[in-house]
Structure 1
């Protein structure tokens, strides 16, 4: 029996500055049985030209050129044609260690796992390492425990890119239409189907801080509210499956309510309707943060902020601004 095939899906949009390094890092993997799916999502720079260059020199590359539809549609396009036994994702402004998939596939086979996750580095746009994000070596069994560890943010990340998945986990599952929190949404559904997950301490993925990436652009409420909508969808999903996991999702929702409320306050445009919407969301989900989820934040600043917001959102903003000024002065 030959070595299993890994399909690596790379969604690409206007990444000419980083794309060369990204694709080279995938091509140069020590594990060679790869299907490299480049999905150009309507780039207007030279990204497509770069993709065509690499396609000519590596027969493992499949290039798809489509109209712009966002990262979720690009990943779904890749999933629809992937023929590998396993699925990996790499973002086009990031890069990976040349032994990443060798190490992950070895662990996947040795442990007969459904998902393998590794640590990652954060780099600046000049590829200088800023921070190391190590995880702990571990093996988790059972869909409940896998779901619990993920939603409680225990020894894991929300990302898709530092994970390798059995392709069968994506049967009848695709990325949602949300513009944010699509990783969180998909991983929650994945871990509900996961029987064994392996976590590797080592860091093989390099996350590049790109100022043009979606999460780092100026705050746009109509788009960013998808973060909360995705989580609300997941709350309903688990309410009828593992309801004791819902407090963790409620915590996720309320945390973003506070973040978005503060961002709206920094914006001088009329946003009363948006603020009212956030207050109503908080009112619904804050009482659901209980048990272990509450214990996670009981003695941390976030809980103080939430209590202040519950008392009066203006009081929360005062506290937040005081902390922000103190942080800037240090």
Structure 2
């Protein structure tokens, strides 16, 4: 059926979940075309599952929203929980929104104007909101690339799965997230995109209007730099074993291994630039010089410049 299935996985997130749900419902009510949609909430925290499900049911008892709640019998992790949500979904378009993120008022208006059934994926724009400092930075300035090479090298950062809407006519919902939540924790999304794109880059459309908020706070798993990098290496281990890989893809994966080692030395071990240049000469030059000639890296450079300027503004 034509419509949008929104999958949300919940894990001890009462602080944020109601803002997330309210933002989706409010945006849908303000839209003109009224694209049919459903919210599938998969609760994966056993400790508060009954309590939170009861509160959510009570909160939206009088709402007309199509809200389906599934409670896992045990904690199975974000990847498998998302796959369960996708299995239960009924509409052709699907997206994954994290419990601590939310959409803006124009979300449904913009996606209704852009979901045309011609593309495998729709990449949307938005803001990263720094909760502790109450500031927002636009994510993309130029159209980001959603290609195997760009995602593999992390030149294009898809900060959260909510920034992409997929069309199941082209992208299968079945086991979209590989079943390795613990091993690839923090890189589940990255693994899913690469698992899709290594077979061939998919056609995608960029929705440049800012319609989404990715909330940056102290509990974001992305703050754990060493674990994120080691999870990335695990993803590369998985990819390197795929039988359908062509020679070019294998070369790109091997190079990405070296980039992860470079990031580990640069961002976690905090090695000096002289040491980095000596150990990783090509990766150093790519990161600090050559890669900035690409649109993807320019997006990140502008984002970082805005972040610095905004910080001064708020200080």
User: 1:298–1:18: structure 2 CA closer, same or farther, 3 Å change rule?
Assistant: closer
Give the drift of 1:213: 2.8
Compare 202-211 and 149-158 and name the one that shifted more: 149-158
User: 1:129–1:202: structure 2 CA closer, same or farther, 3 Å change rule?
Assistant: farther
Q: 1:37 aligns with which of 28, 40, 60?
A: 40
Q: 1:82 aligns with which of 59, 80, 89?
A: 89
Please list the CA deviations of residues 230-285 of structure 1 after superposition, one character each: whole Å capped at 9, or x if unmatched: 12222444x8434324454344433333444578769xxxxxxxxxxxxxxxx9xx
Q: 1:216 aligns with which of 218, 223, 242?
A: 223
Q: Distance in 2 between matches of 1:68 and 1:193?
A: 34
Mapped contact 1:136–1:155 kept (Cα < 8 A): no
1:157-196 aligned at under 5 Å gives the runs 157=158, 159-168=160-169, 169-176=171-178, 177=180, 178-191=184-197, 192=199, 195-196=202-203
Structure 1 alignment gaps of length 5 or more:
267-282, 303-330
Matched, 1:118 2:118: no
SS at match of 2:75: coil
Give the drift of 1:55: 4.5
Q: Which residue of 2 aligns with 1:297?
A: 287
Mapped contact 1:123–1:131 kept (Cα < 8 A): yes
Give the drift of 1:23: 0.6
Q: Distance in 1 between matches of 2:291 and 2:245?
A: 31
Give the drift of 1:187: 0.8
Q: Distance in 1 between matches of 2:106 and 2:91?
A: 18
Q: Distance in 2 between matches of 1:202 and 1:248?
A: 32
User: 1:296–1:246: structure 2 CA closer, same or farther, 3 Å change rule?
Assistant: farther
SS at match of 2:208: strand
Q: 1:255 aligns with which of 259, 265, 278?
A: 259
User: 1:25–1:189: structure 2 CA closer, same or farther, 3 Å change rule?
Assistant: same
1:63-78 aligned at under 5 Å gives the runs 63-66=69-72, 67-78=74-85
SS at match of 2:237: helix
Q: 1:230 aligns with which of 220, 232, 235?
A: 235
User: 1:126–1:52: structure 2 CA closer, same or farther, 3 Å change rule?
Assistant: farther
> TM-score scaled by structure 1?
0.68
Q: Distance in 2 between matches of 1:75 and 1:87?
A: 11
Give the drift of 1:103: 1.9
RMSD (Å), alpha carbons: 3.6
Instruction: Tell me how many residue pairs correspond in the alignment.
Output: 269
Matched, 1:147 2:148: yes
Q: Which residue of 1 aligns with 2:307?
A: none
User: 1:204–1:90: structure 2 CA closer, same or farther, 3 Å change rule?
Assistant: same
Q: Which residue of 2 aligns with 1:312?
A: none
Structure 2 alignment gaps of length 5 or more:
271-278, 293-315
Mapped contact 2:35–2:112 kept (Cα < 8 A): no
User: 1:242–1:156: structure 2 CA closer, same or farther, 3 Å change rule?
Assistant: farther
Mapped contact 1:7–1:88 kept (Cα < 8 A): yes
Give the drift of 1:33: 0.8
Q: Distance in 1 between matches of 2:232 and 2:132?
A: 29
Q: Which residue of 2 aligns with 1:98?
A: 105
Q: Which residue of 2 aligns with 1:51?
A: 56
Please list the CA deviations of residues 48-88 of structure 1 after superposition, one character each: whole Å capped at 9, or x if unmatched: 34432344233400001112222112111101111111111
